[in-house]
């Protein structure tokens, strides 16, 4: 028995969430009194893989073939399942990234494994089953779920579990390959479009978000500048993406992206229950709103009542002074 963790990369660089999930898998293995093995799929060089040693990973399977250079969820699911069987892994851990969301259900169906998405704590053995907590009803409740199959797949939200260094000593990297049928390549990547100058919203540690209080898309300059100063991703409320002021991919809330950054700054967003559901697991929340009765203040850690067009430029200046810029 062991714990297998899937390690994701972007263009050969291990993702931040990969180190988080490696830490989670290492701690899960300790909790279940077993070992952890990592699986990397795609083209990642050995130096990059060795970084996992700092996070307690001693053994890495490296599925690095040209056919697997781009993401094909059927083929990746087969590799992951094959590796789990080879390592006799009964717990398989993935990050709940977009690729993790595409892979985990396929892996669980192949293995008839219990699947839990977005775990918020470490699994605990409870008799013959494993129990783990996750959020449900879009963050409005927490469910304790028992995973009843002898094999289970657990996904962990980005930013939900801290990447903690704990060197493993030696790292052993073992090439891993499996013959895959053509039917595993039902999808083909034609093009990848990535805004390289932007920070990815689901993984961002700091998020600056704005709502209808900004009055129009032409006023987003101050939001982007504030995000720049903080190294933050930008986000928006539903009315803003519905109105076409910002792309849908920036909409955070119950029917958009659910995020849990270290710091969430909400500007000109009143805090409808649907919006709060998407951001309430942020560590620290700052609300800037001219309406002192805005419901958002009820879940905020810090609040400023006032006009965003006055406050945000002042905040940018104060942050620049703090960071010693300009």
Partner 1 sequence: MKILVCISHVPDTTSKITFTNDNTTFNTAGVQFIINPYDEIALSKAVDLAADGASSITVITVGDASTEATLRKALAIGADSAVRVDAQPLDAWFVANQIAAYARANSFDLILTGRESIDYNGGQVAGMLGELLGLPSVSIAKSLSVENGQARVEREIEGGKEIITASLPLVAGTAEGVAEPKIANMRGIMSARTKPLEVIAPIAVEPLTKIEVYDTPPARGNVKLIDENNIDELVHLLHTEAKVI
By CB under 8 A, the residues from 37 to 96 that bind partner 1 are 71, 73-74, 77
Shortest CB 37 distance to partner 1, Å: 23
- Between residue 194 and residue 233, which ones bind partner 1 under the rule CB under 8 A? 194-196, 198-203, 206, 230
Segment contacting partner 1 by CB under 8 A, of 40-48, 85-93, 138-146, 165-173:
138-146
Nearer to partner 1, 55 or 296 (CB): 296
Q: What distance in Å separates the CA atoms of residue 55 and residue 295, rounded to the nearest whole number? A: 41
Segment contacting partner 1 by CB under 8 A, of 25-33, 51-59, 186-194, 218-226:
186-194
Backbone dihedral region for residue 214 (phi beyond 0: left; psi -120 to 50: alpha; all else: beta) = alpha
Question: Considering Cα of 267, then 273, then 276, then 280, what sign does the dihedral take?
Answer: positive
Instruction: Confirm if 208 and 236 have CB atoms less than 8 A apart.
Output: no
Among 169, 188, 218, 324, binds partner 1 (CB under 8 A): 188
Among 13, 45, 88, 136, binds partner 1 (CB under 8 A): 136
Among 53, 82, 118, 268, binds partner 1 (CB under 8 A): 118
Helix (H, G, I), strand (E, B) or coil at 278: helix
Residue in this structure with the two tokens 């479009």, named with its chain if needed: 193
Shortest CB 44 distance to partner 1, Å: 16
Alpha helices per DSSP H over 54-172: 73-86, 98-111
Q: What distance in Å separates the CA atoms of residue 161 and residue 155, rounded to the nearest whole number? A: 11
Among 148, 167, 215, 243, binds partner 1 (CB under 8 A): 148
Number of residues interacting with partner 1: please give it, by CB under 8 A. 103
Q: What are the angstrom distances between the C-alpha of 10 and each of 88, 89, 291?
A: 28, 25, 42
Helix (H, G, I), strand (E, B) or coil at 134: strand
322 sits near partner 1 (criterion: CB under 8 A):
yes
Helix (H, G, I), strand (E, B) or coil at 146: strand
Shortest CB 296 distance to partner 1, Å: 9
Nearer to partner 1, 50 or 298 (CB): 298
Among 115, 210, 267, 279, binds partner 1 (CB under 8 A): 115
How long, in residues, is the chain? 326
Helix (H, G, I), strand (E, B) or coil at 53: helix
Instruction: Confirm if 39 and 61 have CB atoms less than 8 A apart.
Output: yes
- Between residue 265 and residue 304, which ones bind partner 1 under the rule CB under 8 A? 273-274, 277, 280-281, 283-287, 297-304
Among 54, 146, 166, 228, binds partner 1 (CB under 8 A): 146
Shortest CB 118 distance to partner 1, Å: 7
Beta strands at 124-126 and 129-136: parallel, antiparallel or unpaired: antiparallel
Nearer to partner 1, 125 or 310 (CB): 310
Among 33, 47, 66, 112, binds partner 1 (CB under 8 A): 112
Shortest CB 78 distance to partner 1, Å: 10
Residue in this structure with the two tokens 């709502």, named with its chain if needed: 211
Among 193, 221, 293, 326, binds partner 1 (CB under 8 A): 193
Instruction: Confirm if 107 and 82 have CB atoms less than 8 A apart.
Output: no
């Amino acid at each position: 028995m062991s714990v297998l963790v899937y390690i994701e990369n972007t263009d050969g660089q291990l993702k931040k969430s990969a180190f988080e999930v490696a830490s989670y898998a290492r701690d899960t293995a300790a909790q279940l009194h077993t070992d952890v093995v990592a699986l990397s799929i795609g083209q990642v060089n050995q130096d990059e893989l060795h970084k996992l040693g700092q996070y307690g990973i001693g053994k890495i399977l490296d599925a690095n073939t040209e056919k697997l250079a781009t993401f094909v969820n059927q083929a990746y699911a087969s590799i992951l399942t094959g590796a789990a069987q080879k390592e006799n892994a009964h717990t398989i851990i993935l990050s709940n990234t977009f690729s993790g969301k595409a892979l985990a259900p396929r892996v669980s169906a192949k293995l008839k494994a219990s699947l839990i998405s977005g775990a918020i704590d470490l699994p605990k053995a409870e008799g013959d089953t494993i129990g783990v907590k996750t959020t449900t009803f879009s963050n409005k409740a927490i469910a304790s779920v028992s995973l009843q199959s002898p094999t289970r797949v657990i996904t962990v939200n980005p930013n939900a579990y801290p990447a903690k260094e704990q060197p493993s000593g030696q790292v052993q990297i073992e090439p891993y390959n499996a013959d895959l049928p053509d039917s595993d390549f039902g999808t083909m990547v034609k093009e990848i479009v990535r805004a390289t100058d932007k920070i990815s919203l689901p993984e961002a540690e700091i998020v600056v978000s704005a709502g209808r209080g900004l009055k129009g898309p032409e006023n987003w300059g101050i939001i982007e500048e504030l995000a720049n100063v903080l190294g933050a991703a930008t986000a928006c409320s539903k009315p803003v993406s519905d109105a076409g002021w910002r792309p849908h991919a920036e909409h955070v809330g119950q029917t958009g992206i659910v995020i849990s950054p270290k710091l969430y700054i909400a500007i000109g967003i009143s805090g409808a229950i649907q919006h709060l559901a998407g951001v309430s697991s942020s560590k620290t929340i700052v609300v800037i709103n001219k309406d002192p009765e805005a419901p958002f203040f009820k879940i905020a850690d810090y609040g400023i009542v006032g006009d965003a067009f006055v406050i945000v430029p002042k905040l940018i200046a104060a942050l620049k002074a703090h960071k010693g810029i300009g």
